[in-house]
Amino acid sequence: MDTAAKWEVQLRKGCLELAILAVLWEGKLYGLEILRRLESDSDLIMSEGTVYPLLSRLKALGLVRSEWVESDAGHPRKYYTITAVGKQRAREMTGVWKRFASSMSLLLAPVAKGNK
Amino acid sequence: MTIPGDAQKRIDAYLARLRQMLRGMNREDARDILEELSSHITEKAAATGGQVTASGVDDALARLGSPEDLASQYLTDALLARAEVSRSPLRIIESLFRWASLSFAGFIVLLGSIAGYFIGGALILSAALKPFHPQTAGLWIFPEGAVNTTISLRLGFGNPPADGRELLGWFIVPAGLVLGCGLVTLTTRSALWCIQLYRKSRILPRG
C-alpha cells in the first residue's frame, strides 16, 4: 500500500467514531444498519470488521448503550443508542471538525485550483 | 431463517476460532460479541438473495476479516477503553497478558511494563518503609572485588548487611517516592502508547 493510501485509511478511521455517533443521533440502529448507513452516506468503511470492535469500545466508554431486541428475521438484533455523554462528545467533535475543515479548506484552496 | 449445513459449518468454524482468540476476555462480553457477529453474518449472507448460501457466508466472513484480526481489534479497543476510564497498573497488566497471548509485540510490552512497575513499586516501598527500618531500608551498594559492584534496593527486612554501604540515607524517602511514582506513570503511559501504535498498525489493510 502506498503512502497516500495509508494516509487515506488513517483519515477514514479517525472519522469513524464521529460518523457512528452521527448515524445514531436520530435513533437506535443495529450493527448492520449502522454499516449500511455509513456505506450509503459516506465511503468511510474499509472493512466491516473495524466497526464492531469500535462499537464495543464506544459502549465501554459510555458513549452508546446496547440492548438485544427480538426481530422478524428469526434472530435477535443488538441495537445501539447514543447516550447523553455520547451526544456531548459528538457535539464537541463536530465543533473541532468544522474548525479543522474550514482552516484546511483555506489552506488547500491554491492546491485545489492548481495554481503555482 | 433456514441455514444450509455447509453454510452453518463455515459460520461455526469462524466463531469457534474467534471464541478461542477472545478467551482471555470477560466471558459475558465474549458471548455478546459472538452472538452479535453470528446475527450479522446470517443477515448479511441472506441480504442479496434472501437465502443463506455458503458463498454468501464466505463473502460476509471475508468482509469481516480474519478471526485473529477481529479478536486483536476487540482486545486492544477494550483495553484502550478501560485504560481511558481507569489507569490502574493492575488493570493494565491484566490486559497486557491478553495482548501478549495474541502477539509477540504484546509479550515484549508486557515484559517491559512488569519491569517498570516492579522497579517503581520497589522504590515506593523502600521509601515508605524507611521510617520503620531506618538502619536497613534504602539503596545499598556492595563492592565485589576491585571492578564489580552490586546496587540493591532494600526494603529493610532482616539484619543490616555487613559488607555494604547505604547510598542515600533519608534522602531515599523523597527520591524513592518521586522516582517510583514517576516510573509507574511513565510505564502506564508507555504501555498505552504501544497499544495505540499497535492498534493503528492493525487497522491498516495488508498490502
- List the CATH code of the domain at A3-113: 1.10.10.10
CA pair distance B56, A18, nearest whole angstrom: 30
Residue B78 resides in a domain: no
Distance from CA of B114 to the nearest CA of A (A): 25
Q: Is the dihedral of CA A97, A98, A101, A107 positive or negative?
A: negative
Q: Which residue of B has its CA nearest to A73?
A: B1
Q: pLDDT tens, B177-195?
A: 899 999 999 998 898 888 7
Between the alpha carbon of residue B207 and those of residues A2, A3, A16, A67, B54, the distances in Å are 9, 12, 22, 37, 27
Residues B20 and B97 placed together within one structural domain of the fold: no
**Confidence band (pLDDT; 50, 70, 90) for B206?**
very low
**What are the chain B neighbours of A1 within 8 Å (beta carbons)?**
204-207
Q: Flag whether B71 is in a domain.
A: no
Full domain range(s) for residue B191? 88-207
Is B40 found in the same domain as B106? no
Q: Are residues B60 and B128 in the same domain?
A: no
Count of structural domains, chain B? 2
Is B174 found in the same domain as B97? yes
The ipTM is 0.84
Look at the pTM and tell me if it is higher than 0.80. Answer: no
Q: Where are the domains of chain A?
A: 3-113
Write the pLDDT tens digit of every residue in B5-63: 788 889 999 999 999 888 767 788 899 999 999 999 988 888 666 777 888 888 889 98
CA-to-CA dists, residue B164 to B66, B132, B135, B143, angstroms: 57, 20, 12, 7
Q: Is A52 on the interface with B (CB under 8 A)?
A: yes
B interface residues, A as partner, C-beta within 8 Å: 1, 29, 32-33, 35-40, 42-44, 63-65, 69-70, 73-74, 77-78, 80-82, 84-85, 200, 203-207
Nearest chain A residue to B72 by CA distance is A53
The DSSP bridge pattern shows strands B138-144 and B148-154 to be: antiparallel
Residue B168, domain member (yes or no): yes
Pair B93, B114: CB distance under 8 Å:
yes
Residues B58 and B113 in one domain: no
- Within 8 A by CB and 6+ apart from B183, the residues are B116, B119, B120, B123
Q: Residues B154, B97: one domain?
A: yes
